[in-house]
Amino acid sequence: MKPQKIPKGEKMKKLLVSLLASAFVLFGTGAVFAAGLTYDGSTTIGENIMPDAAKLFTEKTGIKFDKIGGLGSGKGFKMVMEGSIDIGGVSRALSIEEKRLKPYYQIVGYDAIAVFINEKNPVKSLSKEQVKGIFTGKITNWKEVGGEDASIVVITEIKTGGRATIQEFKDSALDGGEFGPSIEIDRPHDCVKRVGVEINGITHASLAFIQPGAKTVLYNNVEPTSKNVRSGAYILSRPLNIVAKTMPKGELKKFFDFMLSPEGQAIVAENFVPVR
């Protein structure tokens, strides 16, 4: 008896059913090929904490990260509340408007915002009023603050980029005043790098972004150290937050818990002041 031929149309139907069944088994349960966690937001957190934290977290749990971005605190907060990422990094206190959205946020450490100048600049200390004068454009020559007779080259991140460092510095160092003219560069470590080759340059950034050729100055006669941040003596400091849209569960909760564990806090302590 000859085997019965199956029409081409029937073959295609059976193949399609088989593929759909396989897809359900692989993807429908979420048990296989599950998407990893995603982070975006603060570059201070994204570049100085997240790479090592994600690596150790994955080694301990097997839970991977698909993305670690650095679009800035404002954008990171917006993305996490929209649900396009799992974790937002915000390196400042959350605003009243942000808190009204009822996100879940956790402080993992504290950071010093340092004022950087070129290492060849003889200036060692600047008062709050002097820093305010320089960054608002009222003081334009280094001789006005005890330095050489040379024009001050102010370098900042992009002022409209939603960066936490810009907002925090504006609120704390400039008393809410507006920035004066400056050379604007996207990333904070690039701002410090530019100061390292610009002998008359000055910028502000996380202490973690120290670069060759640049040095920090005392701010109101206080050095930006972990000890002084912890004691409150150094006033240009800020919290480092990781944010979720709602109370984290499952894999996301494991990461939030990890960041407050001894291993997670040890990673924070490499560049910042841990909370535990």
Read off the tokens for 136: 């608002």
Can you say how many angstroms the Cα of residue 172 is from the centroid of all Cα atoms in its chain? Answer: 19
26: region left, alpha or beta (phi > 0 left; psi from -120 to 50 alpha): alpha
Superfamily of domain 111-231 in CATH is Periplasmic binding protein-like II (3.40.190.10)
pLDDT of residue 8: 53
Query: Which of 255, 258, 147, 246 minimizes the C-alpha distance to 201?
Result: 147
pLDDT of residue 224: 96
Determine phi and psi for 143, rounding to 5 degrees.
-65, -20
Give the predicted TM-score (pTM) of the model. Answer: 0.80
Question: In CATH terms, are 37-110+239-274 and 111-231 the same topology?
Answer: yes
Question: Which residues does the chain have with pLDDT short of 70?
Answer: 1-34
pLDDT of residue 30: 33
pLDDT of residue 35: 81
pLDDT in tens, 219-250: 999 999 999 999 999 999 999 999 999 999 99
Read off the tokens for 140: 């334009």
Q: How is domain 37-110+239-274 classified at the architecture level of CATH?
A: 3-Layer(aba) Sandwich (3.40)
Give the separation between CA 238 and CA 137, rounded to whole angstroms. 24
205 has which bridge partners? 114
| Residue ranges covered by each domain of the chain | 37-110+239-274, 111-231
